[in-house]
């Protein structure tokens, strides 16, 4: 079997000169990735599975379920991509990267074994503890009774996390016994999260400022991306329920100052831990960090670009993502350079999001106001098309603005929203509203 980590420089150059890239996934993150990859002069063709109506304007889309490993392999054998970029966690946890590699495809994304650090909260907590990475103390519970016992050991509020993948919804922060009881009912009686909540972590709540830190990891080394800020709560001022993320911006002011400590305490031990534990990693690793004062704690790992963080990181690279992702997939790690610019992404959500997002609501996008420029544009995240666009999930569209100044990038993102009509849609008004900007 040939191994892409051992390609000769000639073979590697040949692959990256007339590239056909396949992106797996179909959200706003994947639209941002497709858009960024398309800027490469070496790109010959771009495909996406399953994609979405926005991506379909830029790539050939295939209605293949990216978590169905057999079908993805069939597709890859048919269209023969030179590089496959796996966007979401589902296909990674299903082992898509492993199977494609077994058949000699070049893949950006970690192995199924390594993807456990996102797939299982219990696995990742044990990994953090084993490698001395600062994180909140936690207990693993398998029943309502065990949760009640565990909460006696921590003060309020309590954090309950489903062990498995729950589309970003398996975390409950319970401020009192009433909320704790209803979370227990969701996890153990209604079984809202199914098998993902067979085990539940009860964790000490850490209060502070949350940051999204990402690094490309390959060959036992890492390269950092600019620090970004996600807005997880539904409403302005950090109020309302948790969501998958209502917006993001990058770079975070003074982010590089806190990075040193985060690197020492969290990133270096993680990358070394992966190596020690024999977990093959060629992809991006996301560290959900909570800064308690000046001390960083690791809340979670994700084995993918954040969404909507990818939407603000993709435009900031001073270089070609196609080259960078190919190199990482081949076990190399190029030095990254970043533009002196800021990017802002505002998520436009469907009515009812996050609990019961309404599907099928017509979306009108004013072409004049939203005509794509390189400094502000609309990305599709969860839309359907049938003689026009309709909502097809919770986080529907992303408005992105880019500029030298964060303030102007923010204005560009909000300006473009004026060209979007979607009945009862909603978005936060305080994304990237930073003091002193």
The reply on whether position 89 binds ligand GLY by CB under 6 A is no
The sheet carrying 43-50 orders its strands as 60-61, 43-50, 19-25, 83-86, 107-108
Rounded to a whole number of angstroms, the minimum distance from the CB of residue 304 to ligand GLY is 7
The reply on whether position 270 binds ligand GLY by CB under 6 A is no
Nearer to ligand GLY, 163 or 307 (CB): 307
Cα(first)–Cα(last) distance of the chain, in Å? 54
Rg (CA), the chain: 21
Rounded to a whole number of angstroms, the minimum distance from the CB of residue 310 to ligand GLY is 8
Nearer to ligand GLY, 168 or 240 (CB): 168
DSSP symbol at 426: B
Of positions 30, 98, 203, 230, contacts ligand GLY by CB under 6 A:
230
Rounded to a whole number of angstroms, the minimum distance from the CB of residue 171 to ligand GLY is 11
Q: How far apart, in whole angstroms, are the C-alpha atoms of residue 297 and residue 245?
A: 20
Nearest to residue 346, comparing CAs of 421, 420, 401?
Answer: 401
DSSP H or E stretch at residue 78: helix 69-79
Of positions 51, 245, 247, 357, contacts ligand GLY by CB under 6 A:
245
What lies within 8 Å, CB to CB, of 187 at 6+ separation is: 144, 147, 160, 162, 172, 193, 197, 200
The sheet carrying 362-365 orders its strands as 383-385, 389-391, 362-365, 420-422
- Total residues belonging to the chain: 437
The reply on whether position 25 binds ligand GLY by CB under 6 A is no
3-11, 95-103, 272-280, 299-307 -> range binding ligand GLY (CB under 6 A): 299-307
DSSP string for 89-137: HHHHHTTHHHHHHHTT--EES--HHHHHHHH-HHHHHHHHHHTT-----
Q: How far apart, in whole angstroms, are the C-alpha atoms of residue 419 and residue 365?
A: 6
Size of the site for ligand GLY (CB under 6 A): 7
Rounded to a whole number of angstroms, the minimum distance from the CB of residue 349 to ligand GLY is 14
Nearer to ligand GLY, 111 or 302 (CB): 302
SS3 339: coil
Does residue 124 contact residue 140 with C-beta atoms inside 8 Å?
Answer: no
149-157, 303-311, 382-390, 399-407 -> range binding ligand GLY (CB under 6 A): 303-311
The reply on whether position 26 binds ligand GLY by CB under 6 A is no
Per-residue contact flags (x/-) with ligand GLY for residues 185 to 224, judged by CB under 6 A:
----------------------------------------
Nearer to ligand GLY, 16 or 285 (CB): 285
Of positions 306, 315, 393, 401, contacts ligand GLY by CB under 6 A:
306
The reply on whether position 118 binds ligand GLY by CB under 6 A is no
Give the pairing of strands 138-141 and 209-218.
unpaired
77-85, 273-281, 301-309, 367-375 -> range binding ligand GLY (CB under 6 A): 301-309
The reply on whether position 228 binds ligand GLY by CB under 6 A is no
Of positions 82, 203, 263, 309, contacts ligand GLY by CB under 6 A:
309
DSSP symbol at 209: E
Burial of 334: CB neighbours in 10 Å, binned 0-12, 13-18, 19+: middle
The reply on whether position 28 binds ligand GLY by CB under 6 A is no
Q: How far apart, in whole angstroms, are the C-alpha atoms of residue 129 and residue 239?
A: 31
C-alpha of 16 from chain center = 25
Per-residue contact flags (x/-) with ligand GLY for residues 155 to 174, judged by CB under 6 A:
-------------x------
DSSP symbol at 167: T
Nearer to ligand GLY, 62 or 305 (CB): 305
The reply on whether position 307 binds ligand GLY by CB under 6 A is yes
Residues that bind ligand GLY (CB under 6 A): 168, 230, 245, 302, 306-307, 309
């Amino acid at each position: 079997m040939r191994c892409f980590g051992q390609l000769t420089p000639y073979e590697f150059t040949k692959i990256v000169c007339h590239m056909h890239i396949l992106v797996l996934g179909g959200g706003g993150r994947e639209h941002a990735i497709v858009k960024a990859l398309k800027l490469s002069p070496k790109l010959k063709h771009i495909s996406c599975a399953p994609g979405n109506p926005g991506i379909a304007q830029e790539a050939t889309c295939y209605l293949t379920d990216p978590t169905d490993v057999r079908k993805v392999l069939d597709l890859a054998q048919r269209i023969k991509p030179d590089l496959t970029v796996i966007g979401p966690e589902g296909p990674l946890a299903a082992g898509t990267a492993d199977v494609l590699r077994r058949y000699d495809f070049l893949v950006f994304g970690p192995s199924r074994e390594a993807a456990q650090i996102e797939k299982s909260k219990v696995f990742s907590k044990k990994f953090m503890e084993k490698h001395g990475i600062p994180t909140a103390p936690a207990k693993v519970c398998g029943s309502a009774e065990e949760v009640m016992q565990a909460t006696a050991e921590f003060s309020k509020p309590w954090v309950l996390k489903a062990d498995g993948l729950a589309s970003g919804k398996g975390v409950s922060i319970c401020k009192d016994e009433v909320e704790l009881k209803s979370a227990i009912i969701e996890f153990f009686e209604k079984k809202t999260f199914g098998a993902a909540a067979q085990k539940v972590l009860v964790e000490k709540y850490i209060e502070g400022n949350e940051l999204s830190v990402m690094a490309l990891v390959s060959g036992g080394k890492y390269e950092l991306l600019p620090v970004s800020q996600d807005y997880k709560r539904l409403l302005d001022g950090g109020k309302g329920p948790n969501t998958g993320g209502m917006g993001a911006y990058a770079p975070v002011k003074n982010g590089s100052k806190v990075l040193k400590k985060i690197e020492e305490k969290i990133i270096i031990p993680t990358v070394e831990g992966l190596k020690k534990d024999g977990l093959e990693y060629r992809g991006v690793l996301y560290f959900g960090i909570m800064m308690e004062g000046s001390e960083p704690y690791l809340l979670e790992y994700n084995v993918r670009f954040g969404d909507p963080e990818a939407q603000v990181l993709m435009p900031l690279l001073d270089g070609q993502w196609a080259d960078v992702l190919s190199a990482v997939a081949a076990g190399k790690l190029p030095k990254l350079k970043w533009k002196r610019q800021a990017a802002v992404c505002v998520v436009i959500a469907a009515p009812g999001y996050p609990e019961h997002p309404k599907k099928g609501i017509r979306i009108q996008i004013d072409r004049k106001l939203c005509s794509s420029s390189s400094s502000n544009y609309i990305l599709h995240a969860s839309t359907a098309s049938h003689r026009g666009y309709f909502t097809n999930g919770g986080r529907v569209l992303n408005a992105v603005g880019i500029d030298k100044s964060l303030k102007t990038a923010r204005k560009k993102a909000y300006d473009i929203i004026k060209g979007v009509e979607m009945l009862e849609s909603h978005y936060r008004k305080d994304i990237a509203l930073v003091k002193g900007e």
